[in-house]
Amino acid sequence: MAAKLKKGDKVVVLAGKDRGKQGEIAQVMPADNQAIVDGINISIRHTKQSQTSQGGRIPKAMPIDLSNLSALDKNGKATRVGFRVEDGKKVRFAKTTGEAL
């Protein structure tokens, strides 16, 4: 199946502790049906000091399920993603505005 959400897309969180927050997808893991979004689903990783790193409490963005994310249209509202063929190429478009993503 074609990917509705891709790296670099602006998304909004639909469910969970970060509901309503917006961010940009940094990484998509289609096999796990999850994505990592900058600034969303942050957890604290306690790391030991080493020769190369300082150590301490390091914030880290954890994966969030793709079903809890929705793409943003040009108006900044959550939208579903559809596919259509334009000039022989398959393109993604926002269902609310009809504009190509």
For the cut 70, the answer to whether the pLDDT of residue 52 exceeds it is yes
Structure tokens at 58: 């390091």
The arithmetic mean of pLDDT across residues 62-89, rounded, is 92
Give me the torsion for CA of 86, 14, 7, 29, rounded to 10°.
-110
C-beta separation of 69 from 35 below 8 A = yes
The predicted structure's pLDDT at residue 2: 65
For the cut 60, the answer to whether the pLDDT of residue 1 exceeds it is no
What are the angstrom distances between the C-alpha of 55 and each of 45, 48, 52, 75? Answer: 10, 5, 9, 41
**pTM of this prediction exceeds 0.75:** yes
For the cut 80, the answer to whether the pLDDT of residue 64 exceeds it is yes
% residues pLDDT > 90 (the chain): 77
Structure tokens at 48: 């030991």
Task: Write out pLDDT tens, residues 81-93.
Answer: 999 999 999 999 9
What are the angstrom distances between the C-alpha of 52 and each of 27, 31, 48? Answer: 25, 33, 11
Structure tokens at 33: 């049906």
Give the Cα separation of 99 and 101 in Å (integer). Answer: 6
